[in-house]
Amino acid sequence: MDEKLASPVSSSHSASSLDDPAAKVQELKRIYRKIDLNIVPLMFFCYFLQFLDKVLVNYANIMGISKALHFVGNDFSWMATAFFIGYAVAEFPQGYLIQKFPVSKVLGFNVLLWGIVVCCTAATQSFASVAAVRTLLGMFEAVITPALVMITSQWYTRKQATLRTGIWYCGLGAGQVMGGLISWAAQHGSTTSSFQGWRIMFVAVGVFNLFVAVAVILLMPNSITSAKFLTEDEKALVEEVLARDQAGSGKKVFHVSGIWDALKDLQVWLLFVNTILIVIPSGIITTFSATIINSIFLTPMKSALLNMPAGAISIFATLAGSYAIYFNLPRWLSIIALLIPTIIGAALMSFAKSKGGALAGVYLINFDVAPLALIYALVGANTQGYTKKVTVNAIIAIAFSIANIIGPQTFQVKDAPQYLPAKITVLAVAASSIVVTILQRVLYGMRNAKTAAARAVEVEAINRGEIDAKAVDDEQTDMTNPTFQYVY
């Protein structure tokens, strides 16, 4: 919903600021600039760091971690997998913490803990120790997607949320770019001492995590009502706009019915399957893109630098998809449009005969990173009720971890150096995701057709002042709300 649809919310506002639609639009723009400045950079840095923490093993693999820790066989793939096992196991405990405590504080303290764990990675001396550390890291980073989706839906309308989700999700591409630069710099460190370049890399990134954690804990408000950078009138205006849009996270009240509603909702399971299909290639990108490039060019330093443009491509794809939706391109078409370059890239990566063609394929599959941001935005926009929203976020995060467990396991030592089965997997799952996306669109269209008339009547009543848009039943979900309209 656009800010232009806001309506008067409080008699405490002056007539000039509320009765004039143009003045109201300008007031909302001013308020949301303040919100963007205070909220979005912190979310961006959190997502940037959680991806950078994961992608470090990608670069560590070409910097000698396997030799230093005496890996054999598929130990590197299992080290990458250990992270996502911890990630999956911790999802529902993290969801409980988000339900029980302020989401911003749960996020901040998890960033603090995973920063400490990243630093500890530099001290590992064996496969067992690094696998244990990576499992712990996965458990702490399991909070990231549920927390950021909840925070985004807490502050923004459904239309606004898609763009803001795209912006903080660009932390992924930034992590790829910075990871390559950090790896290149760290490779100039010592290669003979016990503190090799890859260990320097983990310590440097871990320390930066600690600074961001302190910023989140101290600066990120727990809710709209606790935001010190907004006046009471500004808070009331934002809350009214969210209510009229059927947006926001809802009151923080636990209802078992919300969990059951999530588990029996077909849209949730379509989103679950689509997340797995989209993230399997993303998991390959995270863990093995530098390895694939290194298999083409055989120079670790050059491979680190050549992997950096992939991050720029994922940033471009994410922003392009998010802005397209902000300017009213249907979400499902945006997802499909982003998957087409992914399919082309997978084909090039798998079958191109030249180094340039294979490298172009590696770059193009980074378009696959962007649709996940749109899935996150759909989760935030199309689930109503705090308990259901927390539950669905946990389910989607589990799908993310399952896909990342599958992705690295498609890379087997016996398939080196071409890893053709893994590359063909990217091609197959991207094509399958297009089919599931179309099924989601059909489902949302059918549901909206059933509630369209009732929603139109409700909006007219709100505009006449007969219904308070903020008077929402705590137990109501998108499935039980007879006027809920899904976005697609």
pLDDT computed for residue 13 by the predictor: 43
Q: What is the pLDDT of residue 186?
A: 67
Whether 251 contacts 474, CB under 8 Å: yes
Confidence of residue 296 (pLDDT cuts 50, 70, 90): low
**175-200 burial code (b ≥16 CB/10 A, e <16):** bbbbbbbbbbebbeeeeeeeebbbbb
Query: With 80 as the cut, is the pLDDT of residue 293 above it?
Result: no
Give me the DSSP letters along 371-416: HHHHHHHHHHHH--SHHHHHHHHHHHHHHHHHHHHHHHHT--GGGT
CA distance 220 to 212: 11
Q: Report domain extents, the chain.
A: 15-232+246-463
Q: CB–CB of 243/236 below 8 Å? A: no
* Residues 365 and 176: beta-carbon distance below 8 Å: no
- As a whole number of angstroms, the distance between CA 289 and CA 422 comes to 11
Q: b/e per residue, 260-288, with b = 16+ CB within 10 A?
A: ebbeebebbebbbbbbbbbbbbbbbbbbb
Residue whose pair of structure tokens reads 């890893």 in the numeric block: 419
Give the orientation angle of helix 420-463 with respect to helix 369-382, to 10 degrees: 30
CA distances 161 to 148, 327, 389, 408, Å, are 11, 13, 15, 31
What is the dihedral sign for C-alpha 463, 466, 470, 476?
negative
Task: Give the Cα separation of 308 and 63 in Å (integer).
Answer: 16
pLDDT of residue 281: 81
CB 141 within 8 A of CB 90: no
Task: Judge contact between 321 and 370, C-beta under 8 A.
Answer: yes
Which amino acid would we find at residue 337?
A: A
Residue 302 has pLDDT above 80, yes or no: no
- Asked whether the predicted pLDDT for residue 266 surpasses 80, the reply is yes
Of residues 465, 289, 312, 305, the one with CA closest to residue 361: 289
Of 309 and 377, which is predicted with more confidence?
377
Token representation of residue 430: 């991207």
Are 3 and 241 spatial neighbours (Cβ–Cβ below 8 Å)? yes
Which residues make Cβ contacts (< 8 Å) with residue 249, sequence separation at least 6? 150, 153, 154, 386, 389
- Quickly count: other Cβ atoms within 10 Å of residue 456's Cβ: 12
15-232+246-463: CATH superfamily: MFS general substrate transporter like domains (1.20.1250.20)
Query: Which residue reads 């803001």 in tokens?
Result: 164
Residue 31 backbone dihedrals phi, psi, to 5 degrees: -65, -45
For the cut 80, the answer to whether the pLDDT of residue 284 exceeds it is: no
Poorest-confidence range of 113-117, 331-335, 396-400, 462-466? 462-466
Q: How far apart are CA 369 and CA 445, in angstroms?
A: 26
pLDDT given for residue 5 in this prediction: 41
Question: What is the percent of the chain with per-residue pLDDT over 90, rounded to a whole number?
Answer: 40
Give me the helices (H) in 101-248, please.
103-121, 127-141, 144-155, 158-169, 171-186, 197-219, 232-244
More confident call, 415 vs 42: 42
pTM of the entire structure?
0.80
Q: Residue 286's closest CA among 145, 125, 77?
A: 77
Distance, in Å, from the CA atom of 270 to the CA atom of 125, rounded to the nearest integer, reads 42
59 and 198 Cβ atoms separated by less than 8 Å: yes
Instruction: Look at 61-75, 182-196, 212-226, 301-315 and tell me which has the smallest mean pLDDT.
Output: 182-196
